[in-house]
Amino acid sequence: MRKPFVVLAITLLTLVLVGGAALAQTGSLAIWSAASEEEAQALVAEFKKLYPGIAVDLIRAGSGELLTRMQAEAPRPGGDIILGIAKESLDAVYDLLEPYKAANHDEIPENLRDSADVPRYYGYSMPLQAFMVNTDLLAPEDYPKTWKDLADPKYKGEIILANPALSGSAYAQLFMMYELYGFDFCVEVGKNAIFTASSTMVPEAVARGEYAIGVTGEGNIALAINDGAPVIAIYPEDGTGARFDGSGILKGGPNPENAKLFMDFLTSLDAYRIIVETRQRRVVHPDAPGPGPLPPLSEVVLIDYDDAKAAEIREDLTMRFSDAVF
């Protein structure tokens, strides 16, 4: 009986030491990304062509988790860059971002970055929210045309939405409806819909025909169309908010100089092209092409999206909405 004990003790000691020894190495740029894996990987690959010497570590998580990490690890976070999270979320952690004027600063329109002279974040993509409709389940005359249509009782149980408390894009949808038609209208839509915790479930469910209508980022609809799913994108005639998501440098991160190099790269036309090509997103650079199967911006009705107000009333609005609907 002696032997197993010695073996166990030695095994444990070795295992713990192996872990300890591995601590010694450090990466030289750590990116926290809410963008999809292939998109972030493609960007990193291109960046490494420019700077082969920089070892890049990519951390992938939902924007909620990344924000939690940022706040929990402040003031000395383990990451250098936060990639692709909604503008209102960036505003919520504004103090944790490092101001930096990127090399391509002048090419990015002012309304698509932090408006400060030395911005803390630059626009990444424009996740316009649109209706995703399954053409097998609805006849063309039954397609919803406006936000207002979503409250029509004939769609009861046919609409799938992400939970606005858990998903940034779903909150943006809620805020748009709230701004357009007020709180009671939001509750009517809420009663018509089914909610899911994960925003990726929405395009999946509509593509598979689980639900006829979903509201989601237009890029997801483009991907489903490319994939051969029987769906189309409908942009509400009463307008969809001109929102963008962005990226910035984390204050107090381990590699501030490399982080600046990455921000310069991220605001270049090359980087924006990659974003369009990998995930069919609409990007903020005026010279970048539009996403494949989606209409040009000129055919989309845009409305102003008041980020500051959206961020300010977020907790109150989502709590009231959750209490009224769920």
Strands 213-217 and 159-162: parallel
3-state SS class at 97? strand
How far apart are the C-alpha atoms of 294 and 279, rounded to whole Å?
12
Residue 18 binds another protein (CB under 8 A): yes
Q: Which two tokens stand for residue 55?
A: 């070892």
Residue 326 binds another protein (CB under 8 A): yes
Residue 210 binds another protein (CB under 8 A): yes
List 121, 147, 211, 265, residue binding another protein (CB under 8 A): 211
- By CB under 8 A, the residues from 117 to 146 that bind another protein are 136
Number of residues that bind another protein (CB under 8 A): 67
List the beta strands (DSSP E) in 102-151.
121-125, 129-134
List 54, 59, 261, 313, residue binding another protein (CB under 8 A): 59
How far apart are the C-alpha atoms of 70 and 88, rounded to whole Å?
15
Residue 297 binds another protein (CB under 8 A): no
Q: Which residues contact 265 (CB under 8 A, 6 or more apart)?
A: 43, 46, 47, 50, 271
Q: Residue 191 CA to chain centroid, in angstroms?
A: 26
Place of tokens 């989601």: 216
List the beta strands (DSSP E) in 224-315.
231-234, 240-241, 245-250, 302-303
Beta-carbon neighbour count of residue 200 at 10 Å? 14
List 74, 180, 269, 303, residue binding another protein (CB under 8 A): 74
Contact region with another protein (CB under 8 A), list: 64-72, 105-113, 287-295, 297-305: 64-72
Residue 73 binds another protein (CB under 8 A): yes
Q: How far is the CB of 190 from another protein (least distance, A)?
A: 8
List 42, 43, 47, 58, residue binding another protein (CB under 8 A): 58
How far apart are the C-alpha atoms of 275 and 283, rounded to whole Å?
7
Contact region with another protein (CB under 8 A), list: 97-105, 119-127, 176-184, 190-198: 190-198
Vertex 205, ends 323 and 273: CA angle to 5°?
Answer: 105
Residue 20 binds another protein (CB under 8 A): yes
Residue 67 binds another protein (CB under 8 A): yes
By CB under 8 A, name the binding residues for another protein: 1, 5, 8, 11-12, 15-16, 18-20, 22-23, 25, 27, 30, 36-38, 57-62, 64-65, 67-69, 71-78, 136, 163, 165-166, 194-198, 200-201, 203-205, 208-211, 220, 223, 227, 314-315, 318-319, 322-326
